[in-house]
Chains A and B, each alone.
Chain A
Amino acid sequence: MEIGVFLLFALLAVTSALVVVVHRNPVYSVMSLVVTLVSTAVLFVMLGAPFLAALQVLVYTGAILVLFLFVIMLLNIERETQRTNGGWFKKLAALISAAIFVAIVGSISLQAYTGRFLEALTPESVAIEPLARELFSTYLLPFEIIGLLLLAAVVGATVLARKQDAVSPEKER
């Protein structure tokens, strides 16, 4: 049962990840990334992290990817044209990512415990309350700093995306 669910969503994640990378139209890439992230959220639930699954759906697909869609529609980007002399570069990139794949799989298989089956989830292992206790006691300072970082990002994004002559319209002409 659990193996069937895992295989279904793993297959969905890998297929839609390939569509993200291959499709020329960025809108379809974003939509396909939504499918990848939601299937990863399902895997988070299976790994005993329902809080992260909810965050993944709410923050990633609900906020970040909508932001991507907004920017794509705002910029009115044309489809990518075929690169004329990029054949060797594509091969090189495929080689590099295959090398990454082999290297990481190799280092994973060297570890002793990766072959073992996970134990079934218990109500204690998926409880969110101890997670919240730890987040707001041990990790309280990083939590506050993340809030500050997000504020800085909001201010920075606003400054960057603002029209340059919005402050002083009479200065330019």
Chain B
Amino acid sequence: MTVPVSWYLLLAVMLFAIGAAGALTRRNGIAIFLSIELMLNAANLSLVAYGRVVAERTMDLASAHTAQIIVFFVLAVAAAEAAVGLALFIAVYRKRRTIDVDRLNLLRW
């Protein structure tokens, strides 16, 4: 007995919505970053689920492999993004002694 694919998609949407709420409400820069990682992860989950469904419908595993390779690239880009983003936070913290995004309002209109 397996699981319908809509359950995976529903779980991915729930994780994405939770991450979006976190990215909007949190003020600690690192917490916002963590919420964004959560959203990326939800997108990965739905990509893999869709790849599996399309592979089953077309009787060809190539689309499942393509989906998994895309997720592989997303993981690599997420790693690069995390490294640069955290370095930015360190640089900002050196200058302003805080990473509370409400207090980083130099570029605000």
Question: Are A117 and B2 in contact (CB-based, < 8 A)?
Answer: yes
Majority SS at the chain B contact face: helix
What are 12 A-B pairs with beta-carbon distances under 8 A?
A: A10-B7, A20-B38, A33-B38, A49-B48, A64-B79, A75-B90, A77-B30, A96-B21, A108-B9, A114-B6, A149-B80, A156-B84
A153 touches B27 (CB 8 A): no
Interface string of A148-164 (1 = CB under 8 A from B): 01101110111011011
Task: Indicate whether A18 sits within 8 Å of B18 (C-beta atoms), given known contacts A64-B79, A104-B13.
Answer: yes
Contact B2 A157 (CB under 8 A): no
> How many A residues, CB 8 Å from partner?
85
Chain A nearest CB, measured from B5 CB (Å)? 6
Docked-complex contact B15 and A17, CB < 8 angstroms:
yes
Q: Are B83 and A97 in contact (CB under 8 A)?
A: no
Residues of B within 8 A of A108 (CB): 6, 9-10, 13
B57: Cβ under 8 A from any A Cβ: yes
Min Cβ gap B81→A in Å is: 8
Question: Residue A157 contacts which of B7, B34, B86 (CB distance < 8 angstroms)?
Answer: B86
User: A9 to chain B: closest CB distance in Å?
Assistant: 9
Give Cα A56 to B42, complex, Å.
12
Question: Inter-chain contact count A-B, CB under 8 Å?
Answer: 238
Question: Which residue of chain B has the shortest Cβ distance to A11 in the bound complex?
Answer: B11
- Contact across chains for B30 and A113 when beta carbons are under 8 A apart: no
Question: Which of A40, A86, A115, A130: most chain B CB closer than 10 A?
Answer: A40
Give 1 or 0 for each of B63-83: 1 = CB within 8 Å of chain A CB: 011101101110111111111
* Residues in A whose Cβ lies below 8 Å from that of B82: 64, 67-68
- Asked whether, in the complex, the Cβ of B65 is within 8 Å of the Cβ of A130, the reply is yes
Contact B31 A17 (CB under 8 A): no
Nearest chain B CB to A154 CB, angstrom units: 7
Interface readout for A121-150 with B: 1 if CB under 8 Å, 0 if not?
000110000110011000100100010011
Chain A residues within 8 Å of B44, by CB: 40, 52
B6–A161 CB distance below 8 A:
no
Contact A96/B34 with A150-B80, A157-B86 known, Cβ cut-off 8 Å: no
Known contacts: A3-B3, A26-B31, A56-B75. The answer to whether A21 contacts B18 by CB under 8 A is yes
Residue interface bits A101-120, CB-to-B below 8 A is 1, else 0 = 10011001100011111111
Contact, CB under 8 Å: A6 / B3: yes
Bitwise, B25-37 to A at CB < 8 A (1) or not (0) is 1111011011101
| Complex alpha-carbon distance, A86 and B44, angstroms | 32
